[in-house]
Chains A and B, each alone.
Chain A
Amino acid sequence: MTEITASATATGDTAGPGGATTGSGAARLQARDVTLAYDRRVIAENLAVDIPDRSFTVIVGPNACGKSTLLRALSRLLTPTSGQVVLDGKAIAGYAPKEAARIVGLLPQSSTAPDGITVSDLVSRGRYPHQGLFRQWTSADEQAVEQAMAATEVDALADRQVSELSGGQRQRVWAAMALAQQTPILLLDEPTTFLDIAHQIELLDLFARLHHDGTTVVAVLHELNQAARYATHLIAMKDGRVVAEGAPREIVTAELVEEVFGLACVVIPDPETGTPLVIPRASRD
């Protein structure tokens, strides 16, 4: 990860390193026929998903469609009851946890900041997979933390207590912790949920910059128009199945939105980026 400049293009749809990614290219991270369940409640059966390398993949779908569950499986938080998640051709369950954590990072939906912890202390904890019993803090760790804080623009807050920060700042700090892990693949579980629109865009722009600089980004997002704008590869899920996947321009149609979300709409080009923009139809009464 080199210096990240603020002038980098913010839209993930332009042909960056992720370029043409329609799911046919190489995929380091794959879910192969996974069945996902909490106890006996089955969320998805025989689900097969490839995450194209260097893509900004966004998973969308209605509530309870299994999109977060899929992300949990991809990030080793949930073990499939059958099938397997494969990383670089090898079952991810066969990796030492720290080894896998050096390749696949995750920004979870919720985390807890210990009382009194400072921003830099918290970001440092993202270096755990790079440390061992006898390999303690090094200059490489220090550098990774500095870079992560610079990329998320929290470096000015380095010595503030996390508990004093606003929601938007705090989410950037959590993102910095995930970045400090320095993984080529980064998973994001609804990273913008509790943020206002300005902070949502700010964070998505940050992830788009990461993608531009070569990281494979996989995000679960609620907002369809944001997904269509930032994704290079879109996966639409419903009832634990993949309904459609591909570049947003190719797959986001009024029919698909109707099928997946049950929403009557028109789809027009986004005046800013030309990506599909979903406009719900006015109700008839």
Chain B
Amino acid sequence: MSAATASSRRDADARPARRTGARLRTRRRAIILALAAVVVVGFVLAICLGRFQLTPLEVIQAISDRESFAHQVVVEWRMPRTIAALAFGAALAVSGAIFQTLSRNPLGSPDIIGFSTGSYTGALIVTIVLGGLVPVEFGALAGGLATALVVYALAFRRGIDGFRLIIVGIGVTGVLAAINVWIRLRAKAEVAMAASVWGAGSLSTVDWAHLVPAVVILALLGVAVVMLAPRLRQLELGDDSARAHGLRVEPSRLALVAVGVALTAVATAVTGPIAFISLAAPQIAARLTRGPGIPLAASALLGAALLLGADQLAQNALPGVPVGVVTVCVGGGYLIWLLIREARRR
């Protein structure tokens, strides 16, 4: 490693161009650090602020003082909700980054190509048709994975083409959305109501019991993403180049799709569908870092910050409004802008 730095230093003297390259990398590193700082500050603020305001010192006291009301607020309410926002925001964003890279299109995001809608269908089947025999998370997970399988199978023809994936995905989303309405219309009013609340996507019901297993799974998936990242960077170059570089293209793509689907499915199973984080975060991260491609780490941090911000907005400025509704409203505008831009490009 020291030899590498030594040689690059020598080159920096020889060619000024090398220094600009370093500057570009420094810029990317600075943006990652800045985003990480935003996430840390956001975490602290989210724990301290609210209807019951605390100073950071009071928070630390509250953690140790198990009897106090502040302990209840901090440890039982705010902490799981804040950690959930960060973890699920990052998961959704990384999932979006993977799918957008594989499909070479921002519209290739899991929320656009039906995985979230499929999770909702699974959840509805479990709560309404099966009458709650199985936990709703299980239904959501199964629904999301099954939808991904169907979309992948329908779009597969000698490999996966990004545009076909999107078209098939949007079609499947339409069918599933219709099925979701149909199931809710057949259900009793109060059951349909509860299902609709889940369907809006909210972090308000998250507690430690639901959060811990989800975060453990997400951490494992995170390790998988780090290991698969070089393959994703090869797939970006096109299948021929990737194969010429010695990548097993189809198994790599399948592994990335599986990890991407799992990231979205785990988050959705706990919170209900939260739209547009996976669409918007990778795109914003790519614009901030100026590439190359869609950066995974910056997407994760940005997704975490976005979902935390949206949830704080939902909690404090718009009481009673689920975070899913906030992201839909903000993200909807972004989607329309993207669609218009895509349409103009063609």
Residues on A lying within 8 angstroms of B by beta carbon are 39, 75-77, 96-102, 105-106, 108-118, 120-122, 125-126, 128-129, 131, 133, 137-139, 141-143, 146, 155-156, 158-159, 177-178, 181
* Contact indicator B244/A142 (Cβ below 8 Å): no
Is there a chain A Cβ closer than 8 Å to B247's Cβ? Answer: yes
* Contact indicator A105/B290 (Cβ below 8 Å): no
Residues on B lying within 8 angstroms of A by beta carbon are 1, 3-4, 6-8, 11, 15, 17-18, 20-21, 24, 104, 158, 227, 230, 233-234, 236-238, 240-241, 243-248, 286, 289-293
Which of chain A's residues has its CB closest to B6's CB?
A: A139
* Contact indicator B246/A102 (Cβ below 8 Å): yes
Q: Bound complex: CA of A215 vs CA of B325, how far in Å?
A: 61
Contact flag A77-B246 (CB < 8 Å), given A110-B238, A156-B17, A159-B20: no
* Contact indicator B21/A159 (Cβ below 8 Å): yes
> Given the complex, which residues of B lie within 8 Å of A108, measured CB to CB?
238, 240-241, 244
> Given the complex, which residues of A lie within 8 Å of B158, measured CB to CB?
39
Q: Bound complex: CA of A232 vs CA of B77, how far in Å?
A: 76
Contact flag A106-B244 (CB < 8 Å), given A114-B237, A138-B4: yes
* Contact indicator A125/B233 (Cβ below 8 Å): yes
CB distance from A173 to the nearest CB of B (A): 12
Q: Bound complex: CA of A120 vs CA of B244, how far in Å?
A: 19
Q: Bound complex: CA of A106 vs CA of B238, how far in Å?
A: 13
B247 contact from A128, A133, A159, Cβ within 8 A: A128
* Contact indicator A112/B292 (Cβ below 8 Å): no
Q: Bound complex: CA of A57 vs CA of B238, how far in Å?
A: 26
5 sampled A-B residue pairs with Cβ under 8 A: A115-B292, A116-B293, A120-B21, A125-B233, A125-B234
CB distance from A81 to the nearest CB of B (A): 14
Q: Which 7 A-B pairs have the closest CB atoms?
A: A116-B291, A101-B246, A114-B293, A117-B292, A98-B246, A108-B240, A106-B244
* Contact indicator A128/B24 (Cβ below 8 Å): no
* Contact indicator B7/A143 (Cβ below 8 Å): yes
> Given the complex, which residues of B lie within 8 Å of A112, measured CB to CB?
104, 236-238, 241
Which of chain B's residues has its CB closest to A97's CB?
A: B246
